[in-house]
Each structure stands twice: as structure tokens, then as C-alpha cells.
Homo-oligomer: A and B are copies of this chain.
Amino acid sequence: MTFSNKLLDPNSSHCSTINRYKIIVEYDGSPFFGWQRQKNLDTIQQRLEDAILPLTKIPTTLYGSGRTDSGVHAFGQVAHFDTEYDLDCFRIQECMNAHLRNVPIGVLSVERVSSDFDARFSALERFYVYKILNRRTKSCIYANRVWDVIPKIDEEKMNLAAQCLVGKHDFSSFRAAGCQSNSPIKTLNKISVRRDSDIIIIEAAARSFLYRQIRNIVGSLFLVGCGKWNERDFYEVLIAKDREKAGPTAPAHGLYFLGVVY
């Protein structure tokens, strides 16, 4: 006797009734305990899954392209879900946004995709930006949207030091405990540090990142920016492959998940 779900059973004649939808989501991470569903905690995945329920009629898992920590924001998180119903994309978006009206989560787009699309595993490149407000006065208009750093930091030195990270490296020095990646080896496609008035903007792109890799890199680049480390010191942290050698983890609320290329 088999209890296999017909929707997932490749031998079932109903297999062709799986409809897969890709959604792009914006959120302010401040009020949530991160992306991933956790019992009794308010998470972004849970809020989105609750918003899907009226459409799919059954509890439906939403697969994100990557988890974000508590406080991390997204301009373009991507996720997918399956349903046996053939739904109109615009209706999905409107229905979900109606359910999300009282929380800072919004569905920006919904697209029907083939069943071999996977928000996590089909990703070719992920983009993040980290924002530092570099001034003496705390952030007011951008509270919880930037990391407040008082000492004047040199973004050009940070940018130069960061370039040693581009390419394929063992990023153990910037890997947080609890990282579930099989390997600490990742390929960073791009990293740049620039200033726009009081705001330092750090952009990074890679197929995938280790757990807290960007926040750990930013924490170490901060030490370069305020003159505690030079370019060589930063490079030595990378090649040490030792988390103990790196700087602090930059706060979550300066980080934004920008988007994914598939």
C-alpha cells in the first residue's frame, strides 16, 4: 500500500497537473525572524506560505532562492511553489498582496515556470548590496536600513582590499558557524565598494554564498576602511582560512538581497 502524493509521483497520470510558479518578493526584514519558517516565530516564508494557502487550498511549501537572516532586507528574493491548480499569475499576485497588506512584504511579480525550474538550484548568480551610513549622527530616515559607522572610513582602500576575494577561493575565514554548505570553496564574481555622499555601498555577486559570508566580509573590510588593517592584512585573513582571523560580523540590517539571475 502506497501513500505517495500523486502530485509528486512520477508514475501517476496526474503528474502533468503540477503547476509551478516563480515569485519575486520585496521585504523589510526588520520585524521578522528571518526568511525560514520556524515554529512560533514570525518569518517571511511563513507569511508568504499563509498568503498562498487560499490559492492552493492545502499547506504549500515555498522554496526560496536563499535564506536571509533576521533583519536582512530583500528587493528581489525569488521563490517557487507548486500547486495542482492552473492559476492566473496576476490573480496570485493580487491575492497574496491582499493577505500581506499589513506586513512589509510584497509580491513584485509572479511567473509560470517549467517544473525543472528551482529557485535555489537553478540560480546562476545572486546579487547583494550592503549599506553603511558613515557619519557621526545616527540614521533617522534610514533607521534599520543601514549600518551606522561613526569613524570616517576609506572606501577606496576597502575596494582595493576586497578585490583579492574575486574568483574561486576557500572562504572559510568568512564562513559562519552553522553553515550548511558542503564546501567552503565559492566563486565570487564581483565585489565593489563605493561612496555616495555619507553612504558606503558594497555590492557583491556570486552563484552562491556561504552562511553570513557577505556580512563577515563587510566586517573585515570595515577594519580596512578605518585603518586598522591594510590590504595585505585583509589578504592574509582570506588565505588563513580561519574564521578567528577575520573581523566582526556586520549587522544584518545593512544587508539587502537584490536579486537572482537564472
Q: CB-CB < 8 A to A135: which residues of B?
A: 108
- Min CB distance A126 to B, Å, is 18
On whether A143 and B97 interact (CB within 8 A), knowing A106-B138, A137-B106, A137-B107, the answer reads no
- Min CB distance A241 to B, Å, is 35
Q: CB-CB < 8 A to A101: which residues of B?
A: 138
A141 touching B97 by the CB < 8 A rule?
A: no
- Roughly how many angstroms separate A135 CA and B73 CA in the complex, as a whole number? 19
**Is residue A154 within 8 Å, beta carbon to beta carbon, of the partner chain?**
no
User: What's the tally of chain A residues with a CB closer than 8 Å to chain B?
Assistant: 23
B73 touching A28 by the CB < 8 A rule?
A: no
B97 touching A140 by the CB < 8 A rule?
A: no
**Is residue A27 within 8 Å, beta carbon to beta carbon, of the partner chain?**
yes
B140 touching A105 by the CB < 8 A rule?
A: yes
**Is residue A93 within 8 Å, beta carbon to beta carbon, of the partner chain?**
yes
Digit string of A228-262 for contact with B (CB within 8 Å is 1, else 0)?
00000000000000000000000000001000000
- Min CB distance A35 to B, Å, is 14
- Roughly how many angstroms separate A148 CA and B15 CA in the complex, as a whole number? 41
**Is residue A6 within 8 Å, beta carbon to beta carbon, of the partner chain?**
no
CB closest residue in chain B, given A30: B141
Q: CB-CB < 8 A to A108: which residues of B?
A: 135, 137
Q: CB-CB < 8 A to A118: which residues of B?
A: none
**Is residue A136 within 8 Å, beta carbon to beta carbon, of the partner chain?**
yes
Q: CB-CB < 8 A to A28: which residues of B?
A: 140-141, 143
- Roughly how many angstroms separate A191 CA and B141 CA in the complex, as a whole number? 23
Q: Which of A75, A105, A141 has the most CB of B within 10 A?
A: A141
Q: CB-CB < 8 A to A93: which residues of B?
A: 136-137
Q: CB-CB < 8 A to A136: which residues of B?
A: 93, 97
**Is residue A145 within 8 Å, beta carbon to beta carbon, of the partner chain?**
yes
**Is residue A104 within 8 Å, beta carbon to beta carbon, of the partner chain?**
yes
- Roughly how many angstroms separate A106 CA and B160 CA in the complex, as a whole number? 32
Interchain Cβ contacts under 8 Å between A and B, 24 examples: A26-B140, A26-B141, A27-B140, A27-B141, A28-B140, A28-B143, A73-B141, A75-B141, A93-B136, A97-B136, A97-B137, A97-B138, A101-B138, A104-B141, A104-B143, A106-B137, A106-B138, A106-B139, A106-B140, A107-B137, A108-B135, A108-B137, A141-B145, A141-B256
Which 5 A-B residue pairings sit nearest by Cβ, starting from the closest? A106-B137, A104-B140, A26-B140, A106-B140, A28-B141
